[in-house]
Amino acid sequence: MNLEWMAWTIPTAIFFSVIVLMLISMTIWQILSPTIERRGFLPLSTTRGDRLFIGLLGSAYIHLAWIGLTDLTLWLGLGIAIVWMVIVMRWG
């Protein structure tokens, strides 16, 4: 199968692999112990999947803001996004 038209690169391949791994592990987690909707610091009741979505969307915006507003290395932005992700998943 020739995937040249999709113009794959190593970073994007890693990125999508991580997303797929997240979805698979969330599914397994859900089967083992189904999520209970609850309310954290976010102004709405969320399930685990909701919090993953909010975390990922927020991470995307954190990266965009980092690129748009600073000239610093993107790894710092990634660090902030991971912290944000953990906070949302745990206390969101």
Partner 1 sequence: MDKWKDNKAWFLVLPVFILVAFSAIIPLMTVVNYSLQDIFGPGQRVFVGTEWFQEVLSDKRLHDALWRQFLFSGLVLLIEMPLGILIALMMPKKGWAASVSLVLIALPLLIPWNVIGTIWIIFTRPDIGLFGAAINSLGTAFDHTARSSDAWITLMLMEVWHWTPLVVLLAYAGLRAIPEAYFQAAKIDGASTWATFWYIQLPKMRGVLTIALLLRFMDSFLIYAEPFVLTGGGPGNATTFLSIYLVKIAVGQFDLGPAAAFSLVYFLIILLFSWLFYQVLQNVGKGEKA
List C-alpha distances in Å: 45 to 26, 27, 77.
Answer: 18, 20, 28
The 19-48 site mask, x for binding partner 1 (CB under 8 A), equals ------------x--x---------x----
Q: Specify the long-range contacts of residues 24-30, CB closer than 8 Å, at least 24 apart.
A: 26/52
Determine the size of the site formed for partner 1 (CB under 8 A): 21
Which residue has 């949302």 as its token pair?
88
**Closest alpha carbon to 14 in 78, 66, 64, 88:** 78
Q: Which of 6, 36, 41, 90 binds partner 1 (CB under 8 A)?
A: 6
C-beta closer to partner 1: residue 6 or 36? 6
Footprint on this chain of partner 1 (rule: CB under 8 A): 4-9, 11-12, 15-16, 31, 34, 44, 53, 57, 60-61, 64, 67-68, 74
